[in-house]
Structure 1
Amino acid sequence: MKKTALFIIFFISLNIYSQTDEVVLKQLYSESLTNGKSYDWLSYLTTQIGGRLSGSYNAEKAVAWAKEELDSLGLDKVWLQPVMVPKWVRGTKEYAFIETTPGKTTSVNICALGGSIATSPAGLKAHVVEIQGFEQLKALGKENIEGKIVFYNRPMQANLLHPFEAYRDGLNLRYQGAVEASKYGAVGVIIRSLSLKLDEFPHTGVMSYEGVPVEKRIPAAAISTKDAELLSTMLKLDKTIHFYFKQSCKQLEDVQSYNVIGEITGSEYPNEYVVVGAHLDSWDLGDGAHDNGAGVVQSMDVLRLFKKIKITPKRTLRIVLFMNKENGLRGALKYAEEVKSKNENHIFALESDTGGFMPRGFSFDSKEADYNLVLSWKPLFKPYLQQYFEQGASDANIGPLKTNSNVLASLRTDSQRYFDYHHASTDTFDAVNKRELELGAATMAALVYLMDNYGLK
């Protein structure tokens, strides 16, 4: 008899949910797939506003739009949180070519990296040194690099199953490439775009000069993967060829922008906060549809779904649309700073920042006991094919909220095509599948519902 009782207790501990939860999840998915707002919202955000680089007019428009839409949902409170953000402008379209002999050139596709300085008005032309990593800079030495353009040509590792692992492997070249090359007298850097796809579309992204004096900074640009292959092949045939590029980007003074925040007050534990969010800014080359318009509209739809099917949250449910993730993380840091100053208890935060692709599940940054709690909900997601539950790092915007007692989670999508679009002009509304986007919104709403309903141990 005692063994039976212990077995029942053990079984219940493995499955902390009820038939009511199954019904609620079914309602969430049904509502999102039949009457969801995420796709319509994304259409407006991307096609009517467009790319939303921090400090830009489009970012300002996006803030106003997001606040208006959240106001229309009938939330208990919607407000703007001021935050100072950097203002970097790309200027006129970049131009580049490979010169084999004087007057004989082949045009290639490049884009300035975010934060880079401009070339001179006449552009920059020099011989090229092709390398794959920083260790080769040291091996070549100043005598082989001074006065030349360093071409970092390290493809993303196709043998890694998870593209984000391959992406992280190349980040140091993009972020620190100009600083490291300038130590050896390089006059500029060209970096192979961080994409697994071979095409003609360069991918931008943030870089840094890490305190290097302005007069010693060198311009940095990304080259498309297809043109990187071309340049590499031509260098193998003739190392005396020249590379020319011209860009007119500029770093201006910081400007004021805003995080957009809304909430539904909890009915039982109003001082416990459950947060869902994404970053509202994007790069300027495309429309920022996957990165991160998808996460923005999915997060918005979570609160709409709660209102629509009349779920009264026990805890205060808050949405945060962060500004300036792409080139500074100022919005996330500002939000976390105010949370700490107000001593707000954020027990859970969920972010969507892996594109509007088919959702596969979540990663969790948590203690083992809390992870076991959320793991017990995994069977509820099985009918919807959302079965990826793993412990791991959270996304950048909610990272500053981490404490020893809360749980951070990130929506994980099928990311195999994500870097086809990431930070490129191809990141447009037409690249997002409506049904996959809506499934993502429902999946987020389901996890938020469960966390709100059960809380932490």
Structure 2
Amino acid sequence: MKKTLLLCLLMGTFAFSQTEDEKQLKAIYDTALTNGKAYDWLNHLSNQIGGRLSGSVEAQQAVEYTKGQLDSLNLDRVWLQPVMVPKWVRGAPEFAYFETKPGLTTNVPICALGGSVATPDVGIKASVIEVQGIEDLEKLGRDKIEGKIVFYNRPMDPTQISTFSAYSSCVDQRYSGAAEAGKYGALGVIVRSMNLRLDDFPHTGSMSYGDTPVNDRIPAAAISTKGAELLSTTLALNPDIKFYFKQNCKQLPDVESYNVIGEIRGSEYPNEVMIVGGHLDSWDLGDGSHDDGAGCVQSMDVLRLLKETGYKPKRTLRVVLFMNEENGLRGGRKYAEVAKQKNEKHVFALESDAGGFTPRGFSFDCSEEDFEQILGWKELFEPYLIHLFVKGGSGADIGPLKDEGIVLAGLRPDSQRYFDHHHAENDTFEHVNQRELELGAATMASLVYLMDKYGPVLTKKIKG
């Protein structure tokens, strides 16, 4: 009889807890969809400020704007965390064409890759050799590469349902292609844009020369997918064509910038820190709405949504808008460095850096025990069509925080359209749907609520 009564009491407590959680999630989603702020904030970032290249005036304007908005939320504390960042500038627009016979040219859309050196003032004109990846260089050898422009033309794999997996499988040619081709005497590299769609938008992105001496570095540019197809077809018909390109980019000395941080102090465990964030910098071709203006405004709205719905966090909750994710990760590393210096205990970090599309769920970098607990919350998200709870990566900016006991998570929106816009001129505000953006903010706030209320498993064990 006593056992039966105890079981009934436990079941009643569990049912009450579930009902309480369901009510809180509904309040969060209802508030986001009827009184969300993320879309208005993004409108200002995108249309009043624009592309926020690390070290630029626009990046500083974004710092000042987002700090002001966080100040207006009456958080317990808002501050700027200084960080030195690289300052690379694009200069005058790039220009390129291929020549099938003297005087007969066809223009193609290109853009310099972030971090590339410029071409000589008169540009570079040379024969082209097409490869499918870095591994082809060794097979060809210096005799076939020296004095030519290497054209990397491995496309993203359309059979990969995860577009991020397709991206990962060929982005090495963008990041390391110039450093590797330079070893064989190439004059420059042209890289097919990381894009599953055929269009005329070249997609920039970071690249690295590794330990290549400055005087030996060769210029690198991305070509649009349509341009790549045209160049490849023309090469097959006429291998003797010449390619010309000119770009005017420059690397300037590092400058000071900031991570923007807002905080709600924890009511029970103030020394346990949970963060939610995105990166405030973007590339300069578009206005950075999806990458990663969306993640920043969603993260800002997480704190506002919890305040609006009357929830008081047990743990200290921070929003962190990281600077310089795109071409250096300086902001993420600086935040982790300062946290370590101050001996802060971070127990959870969530990043949104996959666009403002319809949220599908999360990926988690955590222990099996924590993941089992998280899976127990899955049914709470099902009414909102959030179904993806997988172990995997989280986010670049929160990666430096990784340590035993912390749960790292990444928001996972539908990814099928993301690389249509990623790092390109068409990453602009009109391509963000307000409802999808607000659903993402609500989904993030709901996970933060649950993680704060129940806490990571390992943290509870340590307390015990």
AA aligned opposite 2:191: I
Match of 1:370 in 2: 370
Mind listing any 5+ residue stretches in structure 1 that lack a counterpart? none
What is the CA deviation profile of residues 236-273 of structure 1, one whole-angstrom value per residue up to 9, with x for unaligned ones? 00000000000000000000000000100011111011
Helix, strand or coil: the match of 2:408?
strand
Name the CA distance, whole Å, in 2 between partners of 1:86 and 1:213: 18
Mind listing any 5+ residue stretches in structure 2 that lack a counterpart? 458-464
Name the CA distance, whole Å, in 2 between partners of 1:306 and 1:364: 22
Name the CA distance, whole Å, in 1 between partners of 2:220 and 2:404: 40
Aligned-pair Cα RMSD in Å: 1.8
AA aligned opposite 1:424: A
Contact 1:62/1:280 (8 A) holds in 2: yes
1:444 and 2:444 matched: yes
AA aligned opposite 2:256: Q
Question: Normalising by the residue count of structure 1, what TM-score does the alignment of the two structures yield?
Answer: 0.97
AA aligned opposite 1:425: E
Match of 1:285 in 2: 285
What is the CA deviation profile of residues 199-239 of structure 1, one whole-angstrom value per residue up to 9, with x for unaligned ones? 00000000001021111110000000000000000000000
Name the CA distance, whole Å, in 1 between partners of 2:327 and 2:185: 26
Q: CA deviation at 1:42?
A: 0.5
Alignment of 1:14-163 (within 5 A): 17-163=17-163
Alignment of 1:319-398 (within 5 A): 319-398=319-398
Name the CA distance, whole Å, in 2 between partners of 1:277 and 1:327: 18
Helix, strand or coil: the match of 1:170?
coil
What is the CA deviation profile of residues 349-388 of structure 1, one whole-angstrom value per residue up to 9, with x for unaligned ones? 0000010000001111100111111111111000000111
Name the CA distance, whole Å, in 2 between partners of 1:353 and 1:16: 35
Q: CA deviation at 1:16?
A: 11
Contact 1:14/1:376 (8 A) holds in 2: no
Name the CA distance, whole Å, in 2 between partners of 1:194 and 1:53: 19
Mark the CA change 1:11 to 1:226 in structure 2 (over 3 Å): closer, same or farther: farther
Q: CA deviation at 1:9?
A: 11
Alignment of 1:207-286 (within 5 A): 207-286=207-286
Q: CA deviation at 1:18?
A: 2.1
Q: CA deviation at 1:274?
A: 1.1
Match of 1:193 in 2: 193
Name the CA distance, whole Å, in 2 between partners of 1:31 and 1:197: 36
Name the CA distance, whole Å, in 1 between partners of 2:388 and 2:450: 16
Q: Percent identical across equivalent pairs?
A: 65
Mark the CA change 1:48 to 1:179 in structure 2 (over 3 Å): closer, same or farther: same
AA aligned opposite 2:333: L
Question: Normalising by the residue count of structure 2, what TM-score does the alignment of the two structures yield?
Answer: 0.96
AA aligned opposite 2:84: M
Name the CA distance, whole Å, in 2 between partners of 1:304 and 1:236: 57
Match of 2:424 in 1: 424
Name the CA distance, whole Å, in 2 between partners of 1:442 and 1:335: 25
AA aligned opposite 1:323: M
Match of 2:461 in 1: none
Helix, strand or coil: the match of 2:105?
strand
Name the CA distance, whole Å, in 2 between partners of 1:54 and 1:282: 7
AA aligned opposite 2:297: V
Name the CA distance, whole Å, in 1 between partners of 2:135 and 2:387: 41
Q: CA deviation at 1:400?
A: 0.7
Moved more, 14-23 or 158-167: 14-23
Name the CA distance, whole Å, in 1 between partners of 2:434 and 2:25: 20
Contact 1:349/1:408 (8 A) holds in 2: yes
AA aligned opposite 2:383: P
Mark the CA change 1:371 to 1:6 in structure 2 (over 3 Å): closer, same or farther: farther
AA aligned opposite 1:167: Y
Q: How many residues align?
A: 457
Contact 1:16/1:373 (8 A) holds in 2: no
Mark the CA change 1:99 to 1:71 in structure 2 (over 3 Å): closer, same or farther: same
Mark the CA change 1:223 to 1:14 in structure 2 (over 3 Å): closer, same or farther: farther
Q: Runs (4+) of structure 1 moved beyond 3 Å?
A: 1-17
Name the CA distance, whole Å, in 2 between partners of 1:315 and 1:362: 21
Q: CA deviation at 1:91?
A: 0.2
Q: CA deviation at 1:280?
A: 0.4
AA aligned opposite 1:257: S
